[in-house]
Amino acid sequence: MTDTESFLKTARQVVTDEARALGVLAEGLDERFADAVRLILQAKGRLIVSGIGKSGHIGHKIAATLASTGTPAYFVHPAEASHGDLGMVSKDDVVLAISNSGEAPELANLLAFTRRFGIPLIGLSSRPDSTLMKQADVHLLIPALGEACGYGMVPSISTTLTLAMGDALAIALMKYRDFKPEDFRAFHPGGKLGAQLSAVRDLMHGGDALPLVSADTPMSDALIEISQKGFGVVGVTDADGALVGIITDGDLRRHMDGLLNNTAAQVMTANPTTIAPDALAEEAVAIMNARKITSLFVVDPDRPGRAQGLLHIHDCLRVGLG
Binding-site residue numbers for Zn(2+) are: 77
Distance CA 56, CA 132 (A): 15
Distance CA 236, CA 137 (A): 65
Distance CA 237, CA 270 (A): 10
β-strand pairing of 212-214 with 121-125: unpaired
**Which residue type does 155 have?**
P
For 43, 93, 139, the CA distances from 39, given in Å and listed in that order, are 6, 10, 12
* Residues contributing to the annotated binding site: 77
Distance CA 23, CA 138 (A): 22
For the beta carbon of residue 192, count every other beta carbon within 10 angstroms: 11
- CA 194 and chain centroid, separation: 8
**Which residue type does 54 have?**
K
Query: Are 149 and 124 in contact, with CB atoms under 8 Å apart?
Result: no
Helices 157-176, 3-28: inter-axial angle, 10-degree rounding? 40
User: How much is the CA Rg of the chain, to the nearest whole Å?
Assistant: 29
Pinpoint the alpha helices (H) of the chain: 3-28, 31-42, 54-68, 78-81, 108-116, 131-135, 157-176, 181-187, 191-196, 200-203, 219-229, 249-254, 264-267, 281-291, 313-318
> Around 45, how many Cα atoms within 13 Å sit in the side-chain half-sphere?
15
